[in-house]
Amino acid sequence: MKLYAPKYYEDFKCIADKCTHSCCIGWEIDVDKEAMKKYSKLKNGYGREIKNSIESGEAPHFKLQEDGRCPHLSENGLCKIIINCGEEYLCDICREHPRFYNYTNYGYEVGIGMSCPEACRIILNSDSYNDFEVIARGPGDIERIDYDSLIDREKIFTILKNENLSYENKLNVIYSEYEIDLNFVDKASYLDCINNLEYLNNSHRTLFSAFSLESKASEEKEKYLERALAYFVYRHCTEAVDYDEFKISLSFCLFCEKLLASLISDKTEPDVCELARILSEEIEYNTDNVEKIKELFINYEVL
């Protein structure tokens, strides 16, 4: 079994205390079974701190402090578990974030998610989204399915990489090729859906209400939108089991592209990255929100 990754994947490394939006603040951090076994064997030193910080139950997790910080996040932004015990004592979610995995007819793929500021910066500044490398090999057989999403994904990437087309025309070709028209859904329904999403930060509800299908970014900003759309497609369309599912997932990706376009029209590069990160954190990283948005296109017969 091969593990593939976009070429830019190898550029990612957690920047720890230099991060502008720590993933150790505001998120409930589940502790997996293997990590629990490791922690239970710690008898001295920081082991007691780790065991006392875990809320047991059906889904054990670290008890966040009143300000939402992980109890093992030091004041200078470093992980006290790594400092005191070593990186091998991290639970799965801490070790893997912001990575995600896709299963394909050819093996596994790994990517980095835009909710992480450093990952977002890399994604929005890389044109290598269609270049993949084998980064690992392991045992295991591939269970193939009849529909191969990578054919349609590559078709979209080829359109996005076509230097003879303007960005607007690239989008028009994608909409036409997959017979998608986001105008099937009226603006009031979009705004109602946005208003009823779940938010980590309630001010983002107002921020996202700027959504408009007519939004266009400057030529300078179009590269960010192209790279973001390629990322959305890579993350959300790859595991589609048939063409209809791919099309619904693509509609979701095009919605996210329009939302990002609505947010960044007059912003500088750092602001673009932060707004893309917020979009990813609030929408992509909440499966209920993803499903609510996809439901719009199912209900309005995008298929």
Average confidence score pLDDT of the chain: 93
Q: What is the pLDDT of residues 273-284, one digit of tens each?
A: 999 999 999 999
Give tens-digit pLDDT for 250-275.
Answer: 999 999 999 999 999 878 878 999 99
pLDDT band of 145, cuts 50, 70, 90 = confident
pTM, 2 dp: 0.91
276 touches 114 (CB < 8 A): yes
Pairing type for strands 2-6 and 107-112 reads: parallel
Q: What is the greatest pairwise CA distance in the chain?
A: 64
What residues does 73 pair with on adjacent strands? 79
Is the backbone of residue 19 left (phi > 0), alpha (psi -120 to 50) or beta?
A: beta
Task: Report yes or no: 279 and 271 within 8 Å, Cβ to Cβ.
Answer: no
Q: By the 8 A CB rule, do 224 and 264 touch?
A: yes
Task: Give the number of other CB atoms < 10 A from CB of residue 96.
Answer: 12
